[in-house]
Structure 1
Amino acid sequence: MATIVKQLRAKAVQATLLLQKHGCVYDTQLNMGYIASDRHAGNIWSSTRFSRFSSSLALDLLISTLVCLDLSYRLLRNFSSQAAFVEGDDRPPSLRKQASLKEDVILRAFPRKNTGKIWCKKERKVGLVPSIVFEQENGHLGGNKELISVEKKQLENIVNKIGQTFFLSRTYDLEIYDKPGGELQKKEKVLPRTIHLHSASDELLNVTFIRAPPSAKLKVGIPLVFIGEDSCPGIRKGGYVNTMKRVVPFVCPADAIPPFLEVDLSTLDVGHKILLRDLKVDPRLQLCHTDSSLPILKIMGTRSMEEAAVPAK
């Protein structure tokens, strides 16, 4: 019991020091944890009180540790992109994630004959993710479906590294083997269409792919990456970015799909907008929206800031 209490006390001290380092306060006497100020995200979080149990010292320490770890998770989860920079690397986190992933990623899969909930559960228990590959021509769903199972660990590593949005916006080489450790049956280029996660555990349940030969025109949602926030005049004056769209759908050839589109904010003042037609894209990319005047983002501020940004006539 003494060893457990000592370990819990050490974890509580470590968690408390981590919170204090990032501007957080945890009062062990009142058993109250709160965020004093979040200097990165610009948020003020209200106090969160927790009922105090005095049944034993171990229980008090356990509650304190869990509260501290929960607050640490919430704080780190709400860091802005500027706080997430790696020292010595001034690229946005999403760009660094893309750079860390190899250009040609090979996914290993195996044929699947059976369907249904029971068979899919059996596939997941042996480390496979039930998946489907089908055709999509000119942005419309097609046929020629093929049932496969993809290695779960490999998919999880990719999704965790670059995120779901970026996972769905790039092509992969799919190798289908007759069995684990068997011979290669065929290899083709595919684009992830949908990914389904468990609502509670975030476990990969299934993935849908579409075949992506170079000649095919595919509909794909391309994520936007905002750069130049540090030098944006509107943000430096105290404004903030009101984002309307983070992913923009395009129809484009499979060999011309960009992993992301950069949006430069370095020249935007308070009240300025960026529209869909302002995006700099490859001429082969066709915007799916009929109205290209829809806004992507706007630099917001108080009314006085917006009036000051408008030049007097």
Structure 2
Amino acid sequence: MLIRRAAAIPRPDLKYDETIHAIPRDASGKSSSAKERKAGRVPSIVFQAEDGQHGGNKRIISVQSNQVKKLVNHLGHSFFLSRLFDLEIRPEFGSSEVVEKIRVLLRKLHLHHSTDAVLNVTFIRAPSSAWLKVDVPLVFRGDDVSPGLKKGSSLNIIKRTVKFLYPADIIPPFIDVDLSELDVGQKIVAGNLNVHSALKLLRSKDEAVVKIMGAQVSDQRKSK
């Protein structure tokens, strides 16, 4: 993705936090899921492990459609999927009784292809002992002072997220990428990202995530 003077790059809101409310669901399947959606609820599932098979402790639940939609709209799809949430399961929505409180990571979000209605949500449990694969969003900063961008060059954003294996307690909501010293032709690779030392990069450390491209031909002619 090429961006001129990266002014339109989104900035996430770190202060936004919310507990996701849920209720138990007795049955699964297409018919049951359709009834849940008609009632304004989203059929969901909580898995114990990444592959959904080991450790048991699987729960089928429903969450509130309007709450999930609000979170997706506010945070954006990538930031929503990289965020840890507390999930409170209650006998019914509005009840003060908490059946179970779980820390979870969003694993999958299924939206309707034309309306963006939330169809399904998959969570995985995120206890302190867990190591989780996370596509962490990148947030690009310093574009206003980048030497290359000041010369009229373009910012080529190659990756919007980078996959890491993280201990659950230190999963970041995003990774800062500092563009303030990048000049024309320079790039930042995955191995140069400023992240916690405990993480494990799950792609080549030499893979570029962003690069300052050369000035456009029209700009070069003007400078002569």
- Normalised by the size of structure 2, how large is the TM-score? 0.88
* 1:231-270 correspondence to structure 2 within 5 Å: 231-270=145-184
Question: What CA RMSD, in Å, does the superposition of the two structures yield over aligned residues?
Answer: 2.2
Return closer, same or farther for 1:232/1:212 CA change in 2, 3 Å cut-off. Answer: same
Whichever structure has more helix as a proportion of its residues is 1
Contact in 1 for aligned 2:152/2:216 (Cα 8 Å) = no
In structure 2, what is the Cα distance between the partners aligned to 1:204 and 1:250? 26
Segments of structure 1 that go 5 or more residues without pairing to the other structure are 1-40, 43-79, 84-91, 305-313
Give the CA deviation at 1:94.
2.0
Aligned partner (choices 22, 34, 49) of residue 121 of structure 1: 34
SS in 1 for 2:99: strand
Within 2, Cα distance between the matches of 1:159 and 1:147? 21
Aligned to 2:11: 94
Alpha-carbon offset, residue 141 of structure 1? 4.4
Partner residue of 1:5? none
1:199 match: 113
Q: Quick one: which of 50, 53, 57 aligns to 1:142?
A: 53
Count of equivalent residues: 214
2:13 aligned with 1:109: no
1:222 aligns with 2:222: no
For 1:161 and 1:81, the matched residues in 2 are separated by 21
More strand by share: 2
The one-letter amino acid paired with 2:135 is: G
Which position in structure 2 is the counterpart of 1:275? 189
| 8 Å contact kept, 2:105–2:124 | yes
Q: Corresponding residue for 1:87?
A: none
Kept after mapping to 2: 8 A contact 1:222/1:260: yes
Using the TM superposition, give the Cα deviation of residue 286 of structure 1 relative to its aligned residue in structure 2, in angstroms.
0.9
Counterparts of 2:114 and 2:209, CA distance in 1: 31
State the partner residue of 2:66.
153
| Inter-CA distance 173–130: structure 2 relative to 1 (3 Å threshold) | same
1:163 is aligned to 76
Unaligned 5+ segments in structure 2 are 218-224
Superposed displacement of residue 180, structure 1: 2.8
Listed one character per residue, the Cα deviations across residues 197-249 of structure 1 (whole Å, up to 9, x for unaligned) are: 00000000010000000111111110000001111111111111112111001
Comparing 181-190 with 161-170, greater Cα deviation is found at: 181-190
TM superposition score normalised by structure 1: 0.64
Looking at structure 2, the residues matched to 161 and 179 of structure 1 have their Cα atoms a distance apart, in angstroms, of: 25
